[in-house]
Amino acid sequence: MAEPRPVLEMAGIVKEFPGVRALSDVDFRLFPGEIHALMGENGAGKSTLIKVLTGVYSLDGGTITLDGRSVRIASPLQAQQAGISTVYQEVNLCPNLSVAENIFIGREPTRMGRIQWKRLRREAAELVDRLGLDIDVSAPLSSYPLAVQQLVAIVRSLNTGAGDGEGPGTKVLILDEPTSSLDRDEVLQLFALMRRLKEEGVAILFVSHFLDQIYEVCDRMTVLRNGTLVGEHMVSDLDQVGLVQLMLGKAMGQLDELHEHQLRSDAGDTLVQADGLGRTGGIAPFDLEIRKGEVIGLAGLLGSGRTELARLLFGADQPDTGKVTIGGRRVSMSAPNDAIGAGVAFCSENRKSEGLVPDLTVRENIILALQASRGWTRPIPVAQRDELVAKYIKALDIRPANPEARVGQLSGGNQQKVLLARWLITQPKLLILDEPTRGIDIGAKAEIQKLVVSLSEEGMSVLYIAAELEEVLRLSHTIGVLRDRRLVAQIANGPEITTSRILETIASGEHQ
């Protein structure tokens, strides 16, 4: 074999959680000077594999070999010392400290135990310059936007182990969804840096949901499915269709069904009528009519007021002008309880912080909203409860199909489904979905979109918010376009409506 020796080899990796076998017998190898993509749906075990490698989780079976030597990695610190650095999806830095400190903390230059602040700032500024960033390293990290914080996290991880000669330098750099909060220019900046590191011989493990990015920058990929290894391929040998089929374990045709979905134009009676509803600092007053069984998609840039509009309709923020009638009755909307009582359900975009209770089981999380709407004095009979939970786990294909699994241990896509199940069980009349498909893979995305279609066919109204215009266009009967915190147009969907038409509307603020 002409192949060089891999810098990292993981063999027969097993990781179990109570009720879940997250990884079974997974092999993985990484060569120096390559960018390697780790692919798989949500719940396939990507995050678990990374956490095992970085010492966040302990290993239940298998071996890790680094540079030909067998290693046991018990903590993130050990991983760093061994030359494995990680940048996580969420920025894991301390916002209260300065940029320079965040880059160096734990490895500050010291003389006789005294931190040399001047040297620290100077070196931090040099590192930041090398990346082409123009930021003040002595300012607190919290004063910069998330994208910059992400780049600082990368600067930090690159510098781990290097510098004062304590460590061997970074051999393996793990980038777990680093691009999800970056814009196109920042992504290019990141890719340029990745390529440079690759030339320096660093092995990079890259995880991203954006297939185009994988094909743009990666050399090799490993595909996981349901916690098992599907295969290792060179990126040039496998096209995107083939990759998706490997990830999903089914043929592409099944995904296309959705495109065939006929948009119904014969929507029913008015369900929700908002007149002049608005909130200062949130969104300018708007009129909106939602009919029974209608899917309304909201399109607009980040920060254009999509979420604010949804929150007003749910009573999560109090409107200062206008009124809402639901099913012919005026609803005061002074608190979410009013909206829930009128049959509105809201799936927040922050499923972690505003939706699920990670330490409760799938069953408890699903049943939460239904129990709340019944009141605490009328418990749901056990048999009925178990039946309901089983029904929704099956209907939404929540994996693992174990009602007793803790929600915190599920993958992002499955957590989203649990949140959906919670609201569906209360049988709402209007379902508000705020970015339900963000951060989840294509398979789960398609399932959630199919679900929206079938719910609409059953007569449920849906207010659908998504960053991807194609998604909005595919699902919606009517598209509401937002711009600068104003609902500028409502467009009836039809064959002649394209993403570029909507983009024009977003850009110009007018609908021709």
Partner 1 sequence: MSATTQSPTASDSRTPSSSPSRAARLLGDRRLPVAVTALLFLLMYGGGLARYQYYGFAEPQVFLNLFIDNGYLLVAAVGVTFVILSGGIDLSVGSMIGFTTMFTAWLVERQGLPLLVVVPMALAVGAFGGFLMGYVIHNFEIQPFIVTLAGLFLFRGLCLVISKESISISDSTVSSMAQAQASLGVGFLSIGAIVSLVVLAVAFYVLHYTRFGRRVYAIGGNEQSAMLMGLPQGGTKIAVYTVSGFCSALAGLLFTLYIQSGDPLHATGMELDAIAAVVIGGTLLTGGSGYVLGTLFGVLVLGLIKSIIQFEGTLSSWWTKIATGVLLCTFILVQRFMTTRKKA
* Residues engaged in binding partner 1 (CB under 8 A): 56, 75-77, 79-81, 86, 88, 91-97, 101, 105-106, 108, 110, 113-115, 117, 133-136, 139-140, 142-145, 147-148, 151, 156, 160, 183, 185-186, 281-282, 301-304, 306-308, 349, 434-435, 483-484
Query: What strand order describes the sheet that includes 228-234?
Result: 84-87, 172-176, 203-207, 35-39, 220-225, 228-234
Among 77, 52, 68, which residue's Cα sits nearest to residue 161? 77
Mutual orientation of helices 442-457 and 253-260 as an angle, nearest 10°? 30
Q: Rounded to the nearest whole angstrom, what is the least distance from the CB of residue 142 to partner 1 in the complex? A: 7
Residue number with CB closer to partner 1 (97 or 442): 97
Please name every residue paired with 464 in a beta bridge, in sequence order, or none if there are none.
297, 433
Cα dihedral value 30, 36, 42, 46, nearest 10: 20
- Residue 408 vs residues 160, 209, 394: alpha-carbon distances, Å: 29, 21, 19
Residue number with CB closer to partner 1 (174 or 263): 174
Q: Rounded to the nearest whole angstrom, what is the least distance from the CB of residue 78 to partner 1 in the complex? A: 8
Q: Rounded to the nearest whole angstrom, what is the least distance from the CB of residue 434 to partner 1 in the complex? A: 8
Residue number with CB closer to partner 1 (349 or 441): 349
Residue number with CB closer to partner 1 (251 or 301): 301
Whether the CA torsion 111, 117, 118, 123 is positive or negative: it is positive
Contact 445, 467 (CB under 8 A): no
Residue number with CB closer to partner 1 (156 or 220): 156
Residue number with CB closer to partner 1 (131 or 398): 131
Among 356, 433, 349, which residue's Cα sits nearest to residue 398? 356
Q: Rounded to the nearest whole angstrom, what is the least distance from the CB of residue 218 to partner 1 in the complex? A: 24
Residue number with CB closer to partner 1 (88 or 314): 88
Residue 90: burial class (beta carbons within 10 Å; 0-12, 13-18, 19+)? middle
Q: Rounded to the nearest whole angstrom, what is the least distance from the CB of residue 105 to partner 1 in the complex? A: 6
Dist. CA 423–CA 419, nearest whole Å: 7
Q: Rounded to the nearest whole angstrom, what is the least distance from the CB of residue 70 to partner 1 in the complex? A: 21
Residue 494: burial class (beta carbons within 10 Å; 0-12, 13-18, 19+)? exposed
Q: Rounded to the nearest whole angstrom, what is the least distance from the CB of residue 169 to partner 1 in the complex? A: 15
